[in-house]
Chains A and B, each alone.
Chain A
Amino acid sequence: MAWLSPFLAAAATLAIGFVLFSILGKNPFAAFYVFFVKPIDNLYGFGELLLKASPLMLCAIGLAAGYRANVWNIGAEGQLTLGAICGGGVALAVPDGAGAWALPLMLIAGAAGGMVWAAIPAWLRTRFNANEILVSLMLVYVATLTLSLLVHGPWRDPEGFNFPQSKLFADPALLPNLLTGTRLNVGFLLALGVVFAAWLFIRRSLSGFQMRVAGLAPAAANYAGISARRTVWLGMLIGGATAGIAGVNEAAGAIGQLLPSMSPGYGFAAIIVAFVGRLHPLGILLASLLMSLLYLGGEAAQMGLALPSAVTGLFQGTLLFFLLAADVFINFRLRLIRRAPAVASARTVAAA
């Protein structure tokens, strides 16, 4: 059931979509085609699918490492933004004729930026027992406003007609293209590499094992001498690092400069991706493709069906909602019982 519930949730989401489109006066089947099939029926669309999946899988795998240890990092969006700021800051300093050192330096800077942003809730949790959910979430807004400050002020492109945007990055500071005819860049391969490395860490390293124990049985972790503080630090920093890399990927890849908004909510959508993917690397890969499709479909639906932009968020939220509902049935079974006199009532009974 643990592996079936994501599929059930997806099916339920589709059913809701069906009803929704009908209510909005669109032909549901046509709407489904526009939403799910049309965006990827050509090479460019396929590239977009993978392009949008990269930041999702990067953020999600980092978050999953923490979630397995009961470290609830909700601020991936902010860590992504900081990654973009730091990586983008380095990129803006890269001159036109620079060598191959530019991109790795940017990536390191981006990862470091994300880690610094994640270190704040980690420190507050280990030192003051402050709830990392609240701190990391609030820091998202701090990060967004910081970015806005930078692109409106010191980093604004002087030849940008007063638009709040930074200079375009020089060529050596841009991620090379991977597939001609699409916008897909090397960042996708990097994302796959990070997912693989994270899998190695979670499944095969002693630290990863210890983090899993901390999430499953905190008393056993304490008994085994696993430091709870170290678990929190590792959980937050890993999430911060991968989100930071995602931020640099966006800045140096699809966008090519710094803008006030670097992501349409990838950091938050990654939370859904992590859970739909069951905190497992392969599941996260598949779930990030699904979520990416929802993004593309939402954009297509706005253009082709004149649907409001909220339709994307609606589908994402519905998916998570049904996933949580389906998860109840992993441990419990619905049983209709007959009570005398012949009145049937439904009760959930603990499955044996």
Chain B
Amino acid sequence: MSIAGASASAPPAAPRLELEGISKAYPAVVANDGIDLSVMPGEIHAVLGENGAGKSTLMKIIYGVVKPDAGTIRWNGEAVTIASPARARALGIGMVFQHFSLFDTLTVSENIALALEGDAAGAGLDDRIREVSERYGLPLDPRRHIHTMSVGERQRVEIVRCLLQEPRLLIMDEPTSVLTPQAVERLFSTLGRLAGEGCSILYISHKLDEIRALCQRATVLRGGKVSGECDPRRETSSSLARMMIGGELPHPRHHQATTRGDGALAVRGLTVSAADPFGTDLAGIDLSVHGGEIVGIAGVSGNGQSELLSALSGERPVDDGAMIVLNGTPVGRRGAAARRALGLAFVPEERLGRGAVPEMSLSDNALLTAHRQALTRRGFIRFDAVRAYASATIARFNVKAPGPDATARSLSGGNLQKYIVGREILQAPRVMIAAQPTWGVDVGASAQIRQALVDLRDEGVAVLVISEELDELFEICDRICVIARGRLSPAKPARETNAEEIGLLMGGSFIGAQRVARSEASSTGIADAN
């Protein structure tokens, strides 16, 4: 029995999608264990769970990327086998992934044409793109190249690409991680429109406030099983958290900063042209972090964060040494090893492949950056000392690993991140930089990592955190600034600002004023990287 565009108030309608007893196991972990789920037509249904609970696997099963080991899937009442994404699309299921698959060098219309079947991608596609994108409040110019677009705009392309195939079920995987608060509101109104027209929406997230604002029903996953079903509008964040992790959401103990250490990081007029042709140039970044405070840099991804981090860590030295001053010494031209010797520690955004070597053991990975901690003698490795250091890190930071000989890639994301953070902290740095410290990390480990950063601050270390999660920044930072299009806004004390103000800054509202002030202030003018 199929229902076309009916609203949820029609008499006993079959669920649009019904999952019964879905299970999927991998060699190391049971990702999904007997999951039941049902989504009515026109319903916005949240799938809630922390990182590692099994949400992604379940969505991949629905979209035909992964085959379940057991269980049935019913579409409009009929049992179906979804053998591939093409089959899912033919049924009417669309999915917007967290990580986009768009070609930077092609236009919007060319990217969309790649996904559509033969004749639908012919003449008139541009007009259809314009019409559909306007109708749902996500205006797009079909002839723009992807590389000129911001992350939020690219997400619109992904959504419009799905909408052009007239889906009856739309799956959205963590869509708001790349959006400013204002863009999130626009997205929610679009989704509301879609639901009103009878399209069901599966909304995957771990952000409780958003789910409570948007969704009508929620299925909560924990450890691969369904731990609860509810109407999120009637629940509180605490009750949802209890279903999600079995307890309260932990908050770090955050006192007023008291110790003022001597470590300091000062950035003056940092201007860097991006290495990647599609990267973001940095223009005149001014920042200072002194010992005993945590400064946070907010911003949607793709606005220069990775370029800033490479310049600060020494992975990509800059030409003018005075642009970056570490503990009073200009270090702009020096490499990462020299900066570490001066007391800098750095936790990068990518764990595997950059923060740690995946094939090597935890001991070897300790040696990667901590070799100055008496781990070598006359150029030869002291294996006992290395193991002891690794074991100490594992013990002190609650890393769940079989031991220091476990390979880095055998650890879960959260545990590996704890290990990397711990390895850096145990080197007793005077300045610590952490990039996306809790990205893809489960709630428990996130809380421990944030607490570790706060404890570090209390010892007088200068801490800089770059993150896309506003909640995290407001939780632990003393001062917050925003990076947008390669420029940095002035830092404000966290208590004197709020998410909405930061959201406006993330859209780049400070850039015009900054440009005017700079060109007035200097006689020669600062070279504009744009």
Listed in ascending order, the chain A residues whose CB lies under 8 Å from chain B are 204-207, 209, 213, 216-217, 219-220, 222-227, 352
Listed in ascending order, the chain B residues whose CB lies under 8 Å from chain A are 26-27, 313-315, 335-340, 346, 348, 350, 353-360, 364, 367-369, 371, 376, 379-381
Output the least CB separation between A232 and chain B (Å).
15
**Complex Cα spacing A352 to B66, Å:** 13
Q: Which residue of A lies closest to B334 (CB)?
A: A225
List the 7 closest A-B pairs by CB distance, nearest first: A225-B337, A225-B336, A219-B354, A217-B357, A224-B368, A206-B376, A220-B357
**Complex Cα spacing A209 to B339, Å:** 20
In the bound complex, residues from chain A placing their C-beta under 8 Å from that of B348 are 223
Q: Which of B315, B356, B368 has the most CB of A within 10 A?
A: B368
**Complex Cα spacing A134 to B369, Å:** 34
In the bound complex, residues from chain A placing their C-beta under 8 Å from that of B379 are 205-207
The answer on a CB contact under 8 Å between A226 and B337 is yes
**Complex Cα spacing A213 to B371, Å:** 14
Q: Can you report 18 A-B residue pairs in the complex whose CB atoms are below 8 A from each other?
A: A205-B379, A205-B380, A206-B376, A207-B379, A217-B353, A219-B353, A220-B354, A223-B315, A223-B346, A223-B354, A224-B337, A225-B314, A225-B335, A225-B336, A225-B337, A225-B369, A226-B337, A352-B27
In the bound complex, residues from chain B placing their C-beta under 8 Å from that of A225 are 314, 335-340, 369
In the bound complex, residues from chain A placing their C-beta under 8 Å from that of B356 are 220
Q: Which residue of A lies closest to B337 (CB)?
A: A225
The answer on a CB contact under 8 Å between A206 and B371 is yes
For the complex with contacts A217-B354, A223-B369, A225-B337, 6 further pairs of A-B residues with Cβ separation under 8 Å are A213-B368, A216-B358, A220-B355, A222-B354, A223-B368, A224-B336
In the bound complex, residues from chain B placing their C-beta under 8 Å from that of A217 are 353-354, 357-358
The answer on a CB contact under 8 Å between B313 and A223 is yes
Q: Which residue of A lies closest to B335 (CB)?
A: A225
Q: Which residue of B lies closest to A216 (CB)?
A: B357
In the bound complex, residues from chain A placing their C-beta under 8 Å from that of B350 are 219
In the bound complex, residues from chain B placing their C-beta under 8 Å from that of A227 are 335, 337
Output the least CB separation between A49 and chain B (Å).
34
**Complex Cα spacing A264 to B380, Å:** 37
**Complex Cα spacing A213 to B379, Å:** 16
**Complex Cα spacing A1 to B159, Å:** 44
Output the least CB separation between A334 and chain B (Å).
19
Please judge, given known A-B contacts A217-B357, A223-B313, whether A206 and B380 are in contact too, CB under 8 Å: yes
Q: Which residue of B lies closest to A200 (CB)?
A: B380
In the bound complex, residues from chain B placing their C-beta under 8 Å from that of A205 are 379-381
The answer on a CB contact under 8 Å between B367 and A209 is yes
Output the least CB separation between A222 and chain B (Å).
5
Which of B335, B337, B381 is close to A204, meaning CB atoms less than 8 Å apart? B381
Output the least CB separation between B417 and chain A (Å).
15
In the bound complex, residues from chain B placing their C-beta under 8 Å from that of A226 are 337
Output the least CB separation between B487 and chain A (Å).
26
The answer on a CB contact under 8 Å between B315 and A222 is yes
**Complex Cα spacing A222 to B368, Å:** 11
In the bound complex, residues from chain A placing their C-beta under 8 Å from that of B346 are 223
Output the least CB separation between B74 and chain A (Å).
23
Output the least CB separation between A338 and chain B (Å).
15
Output the least CB separation between A194 and chain B (Å).
18
**Complex Cα spacing A213 to B337, Å:** 15
